[in-house]
Structure 1
Amino acid sequence: MRLRFLQDDEKTFSSIETELPLVIEPVNEKSFTVLKTLLNESCDWFNKQLDTYGAILFRGFEVEGAEQFQKVLELLNIELEPVYHFGSAHRVRITDKVFTSSEAPPHQIIAPHNELNMVPIRPSVLAFFCQIQPDLYGETPIINTEKLFSSLSPSLQHKISNFPQRFVRYVPNHLLEIVFEELSRDEITKLLREQGFDFTWKEDGSINFECSHIPLFSHPRTNRLCFCLSIVDCLVSREWYRNLGQRYSFGQRLYSNWLPAKLYKRIQQGLTTAATVVDGSQKRTSTLNTYFLNDQNQYTTMTAAEAKELGRAEWKNAAIFQWKQGDILVMDNLQIAHSRLNTKPPRKILTAFGNMCNIRDIKPALLTSGLNI
């Protein structure tokens, strides 16, 4: 096998990130049998590379389907999670432990985040498999969150590291079976209590649940800073749409680039409200909002300038590459955030995750002089 990093012709956009992911590819024989043998013989070595680089891209091997994808992860000694609770995106189960990555509309950009970022018990390993290579676009950008955090201004670093984030989620009754995979009300209640959520059941069977935590902690094996990327703000995502303007119509480019921030945010919030309200009272879709808790324990949000700064820093630090048929991307979900860019079908990316951990059991981040604190 050969070890390398992404070449320029594999990247869609250039960035300051040059060592993410580590690419592992065959030199001669590329069969799935060869890949299995490599994993059997060197599982510990592969996992050390994952700790070192944060993400590994197996490229050029003959991996043909969900079952083989799952087998690769099992050979890496990843304890795969068989259920997908708390998810914001609709997914389709393919095997007992493999799902489609997202059923979101193809024109939509999914903002950078760590998987299950609002949930204390979350996967420490996340993986994707390219079963059908996108005809156009459809990249999955990945970001080293320690590098991202270190590139932020001291004032924004201070806010993130000192003010807890509050995650507020609403799930209507008819979507409970998707978000909680058909758990009963009693089982959902037990799960929320175990995870330490504040929650309220509504008369119509819908539920609100909330939790808070500082999004910075030390990696349990490497002690590197992990920045849980979980800020939901349309002004952050706006920077991504701006950088991808050539993929959208002239009118959409004008909307993303020239509208004043306050007006842009008001319109986006109005569009969200229109999409989630049927009769002015009954919400029909699940919603997730994040806030900072200030010194007075009051909810605050990012300023327009802070959101713009974060969005630009995400873009600057993102590794954005084209998917190829058979690719398997394995990521350290504590250290690496991911996104999804707009696409045009066909595109089929599968996902699986595991090695669940509780971030409340992980020690706080050790902020060193190497960061801009």
Structure 2
Amino acid sequence: MHNRNSTPDGLVREDTHDFVTTYTPSGDNSINALGRLLRDNRDYFLDHIAERGVLLFRGFQPHSHQQFHELVTGSLGLEVWNGFNLKKTPGIVTSWLRKYSEGLVGGGDYRRYLDRDTVRLGPVESSIQGPHTEGGVRSERSRYIALCCIEPAPYLAETGMADLNQAYLDLPTALRARFHTAWNRFSYRSARKLNPLDRLVLRLSPFQVTEREDGLADMALPPCPATCAVPENGRVCLQPWAFARNTNRPVRDAARAVFTGRGEIGLDSTAEGMDLSWGLCDDQGNTVPWTEDEQRQVFEAIFRRARLMAWQKGDIALVDNVRIGHWRMNGEQGNRKLVQIQATAFNAEPYHPARLPMDPELAGA
């Protein structure tokens, strides 16, 4: 059995960032070799995702999303869990359903399913996405995400990643204390008047739907934790989902302040296209104030902790989806093809720190 504290034979390990460990081949760089390494050392790699945050495998170069899928599900043995496709429908059906839902709520991130599990991420814009955890609009989400670069962008278009525990600790004490106990509350307004099919779909959804006199609908999701403790170590992490219209300008302003020298940074089209509101509440559902200036402070704290993942062809990254937030940077699309698999069901609610003893520093003492 492999010693979990030593690097597996066949790999060179380097801690290339505060929360990123990069593994490169010391010999055989074939996909089969990487598959064997993942299969023979599953516990080691899962332990190190929790310890580090991001594991990057560079230099093996898978050439298809099918090879990537086999590495994640076959070799590493992760169970796919995608909140948008829990029924495991074929990719073409899920892509249609996603397009349909985007038409209902407005906007659209243009990601398409290559099969029932693997998603091709959306195209690059002259904007920077808001930071988010994958599926963070609800308590139920994936614990891990796996990313594979089949083809990088010709210029910039990195994936920004940040340690959400460090960003949380960087907040002013009063704002940190508020997030420590708060819940995220997300609500959409429909982009069109509801039709019979819309009503049928929404009855099967987690939304609480209120139809308005003008025929549109307000669709509220149950509150989910605004912060979450990492199960293995208890680190409290922000849990953002910055695709809301009301946070789009603070995201843009924070990006302009932090990421200088990247040309014009505009508003994210997905967040601008959806009438989604992101608010905070307490565990009784009472509104917790959160000003636009405070929103910008949160996003700047996250962006200032960023590691911009400049993808190389064939890169594979395994990411802790509780501890690490991510977003797409601006750049040129070219033939960029970045694909993603979400894995391992996770419920953030049991790890909400709201009922834990309050740290005196958080209480302002």
Query: Do these two structures clear the TM 0.5 threshold for a shared fold by scoring above it?
Result: yes
Question: Deviation at 1:34?
Answer: 0.4
In the superposition, the TM-score normalised over structure 1's length comes to 0.76
**Equivalent residue runs for 1:130-279 within 5 Å:** 130-172=149-191, 185-186=199-200, 188-192=202-206, 197-201=207-211, 208-231=219-242, 232=244, 233=247, 234-249=249-264
What residue is the counterpart of 1:5 in the other structure?
A: 15
Question: Deviation at 1:292?
Answer: 2.3
Q: Is the 8 A contact 1:170 1:288 kept in 2?
A: yes
* Shift in alpha-carbon separation, 1:173–1:309, aligned structure 2, 3 A: closer
Q: What are the superposed Cα offsets for residues 76-120 of structure 1, whole Å, 9 maximum, x if unpaired?
A: 2211136636886331111221011124x5212111111111112
| Unaligned runs of at least 5 residues, structure 1 | 7-17, 177-182, 257-267, 277-284
Question: Deviation at 1:246?
Answer: 2.0
* Shift in alpha-carbon separation, 1:39–1:226, aligned structure 2, 3 A: same
Q: Is the 8 A contact 2:191 2:275 kept in 1?
A: no
1:79 pairs with 2:94: no
Amino acid at match of 2:240: L
Q: What are the superposed Cα offsets for residues 41-88 of structure 1, whole Å, 9 maximum, x if unpaired?
A: 111111111111111111111211101111111122211136636886
Question: Deviation at 1:363?
Answer: 5.0
| Unaligned runs of at least 5 residues, structure 2 | 1-10, 86-100, 103-107
- CA-atom RMSD in angstroms: 3.2
* Shift in alpha-carbon separation, 1:83–1:124, aligned structure 2, 3 A: closer
Using the alignment, how far apart are the partners of 1:175 and 1:326 within structure 2? 44
Q: Is the 8 A contact 2:111 2:121 kept in 1?
A: yes
Question: Deviation at 1:371?
Answer: 7.0
**Equivalent residue runs for 1:59-98 within 5 Å:** 59-74=58-73, 75-81=75-81, 84=84, 89-98=109-118
Using the alignment, how far apart are the partners of 1:173 and 1:98 within structure 2? 30
Q: Is the 8 A contact 2:140 2:348 kept in 1?
A: yes
1:41 pairs with 2:40: yes
* Shift in alpha-carbon separation, 1:308–1:83, aligned structure 2, 3 A: closer
Question: Deviation at 1:201?
Answer: 5.0
By relative contact order (CA 8 Å, sep 6+), the higher-ranking structure is 1
Amino acid at match of 1:230: W
Question: Deviation at 1:219?
Answer: 2.2
SS at match of 2:56: strand
Amino acid at match of 2:203: T
In the superposition, the TM-score normalised over structure 2's length comes to 0.78
Q: Is the 8 A contact 1:167 1:289 kept in 2?
A: yes
What residue is the counterpart of 2:88 in the other structure?
A: none
Using the alignment, how far apart are the partners of 2:79 and 2:333 within structure 1? 31
1:364 pairs with 2:315: no
Aligned length: 323
Question: Deviation at 1:299?
Answer: 6.4
Q: What are the superposed Cα offsets for residues 302-346 of structure 1, whole Å, 9 maximum, x if unpaired?
A: 242x23322321122111131100011111111110011002022
